[in-house]
């Protein structure tokens, strides 16, 4: 019997840790669970770690982590370049936090898919994670959108209201991620057509 794209496979995946990144609203959450299931891996949503970071750190330690909570009007007033810088600074903090998590999974041998907005392409290029050499066991894939207007539509469908500022910020981050993936040689897969994104993501993770 032929396997469907969401059916689990037998045997181990060709990686231990798979990073599934992309800007907010691009469609990562639609394929995270079936992609993990296809490989018999756990799915960990990295964005949930934001609440943990806010609880265990102070604004003095990590100002960008607390900036939105403390000064939302200041963040919303940022121009496009400053908003992108803020997003990348937040993602850099997340990269530091994720490094020991990746190292732990490399040591335990438990395959995992880490999915989230604040995953940097450069995180997939480290020679070691918290002292644990990856030896080719860390792979990454980033979903990218081709049109800013589509991100705006995605936000509207998902959350029931227009969010042009959020869509604009997500678009600039999307384009920055696309360029970073190209620079680092990491797969960046168009999110559309929706009908084939899971199959294409599975192919890229093989």
All structural domains of the chain with their residue ranges? 17-204
pLDDT tens digits, one per residue of 37-80 = 999 999 999 988 888 999 999 999 999 999 999 999 999 999 99
CATH superfamily of this structure's domain 17-204? P-loop containing nucleotide triphosphate hydrolases (3.40.50.300)
In this structure, are residues 19 and 138 in contact, taking their beta carbons and an 8 Å threshold? yes
pLDDT tens digits, one per residue of 79-128 = 999 999 999 999 999 999 999 999 999 999 999 999 999 999 999 999 99
pLDDT tens digits, one per residue of 197-206 = 999 999 999 9
Q: What is the mean pLDDT of the chain?
A: 93
In this structure, are residues 33 and 45 in contact, taking their beta carbons and an 8 Å threshold? no
What is the arrangement of strands in the sheet containing 17-21, beginning at the earlier edge strand? Answer: 42-45, 112-116, 17-21, 138-144, 188-190
Output phi, psi for 10, to 5 deg.
Answer: -90, 150
In this structure, are residues 35 and 205 in contact, taking their beta carbons and an 8 Å threshold? yes
pTM for the predicted model, two decimal places: 0.93
């Amino acid at each position: 019997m032929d396997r469907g794209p969401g059916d689990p496979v037998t045997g181990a995946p060709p990686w231990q840790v798979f990073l599934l990144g992309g800007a907010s609203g691009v469609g990562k959450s639609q394929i995270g669970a079936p992609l993990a299931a296809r490989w018999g891996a756990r799915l960990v949503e990295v964005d949930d770690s934001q609440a943990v970071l806010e609880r265990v750190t102070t604004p003095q330690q990590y100002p960008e982590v607390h900036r939105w909570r403390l000064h939302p009007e200041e963040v919303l007033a940022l121009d496009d370049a400053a908003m992108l810088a803020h997003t990348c600074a937040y993602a850099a903090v997340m990269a530091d936090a994720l490094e020991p998590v990746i190292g732990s999974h490399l040591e335990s041998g438990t395959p995992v898919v880490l999915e989230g907005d604040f995953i940097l392409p450069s995180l997939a290029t480290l020679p070691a994670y918290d002292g644990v050499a990856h030896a080719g066991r860390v792979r990454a894939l980033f979903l990218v959108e081709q049109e800013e207007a589509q991100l705006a539509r995605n936000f509207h469908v998902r959350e029931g209201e227009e969010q042009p500022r959020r869509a604009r910020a997500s678009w600039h981050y999307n384009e920055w991620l696309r360029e970073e993936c190209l620079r680092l040689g990491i797969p960046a897969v168009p999110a559309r057509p929706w009908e084939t994104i899971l199959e294409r993501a599975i192919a890229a993770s093989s």
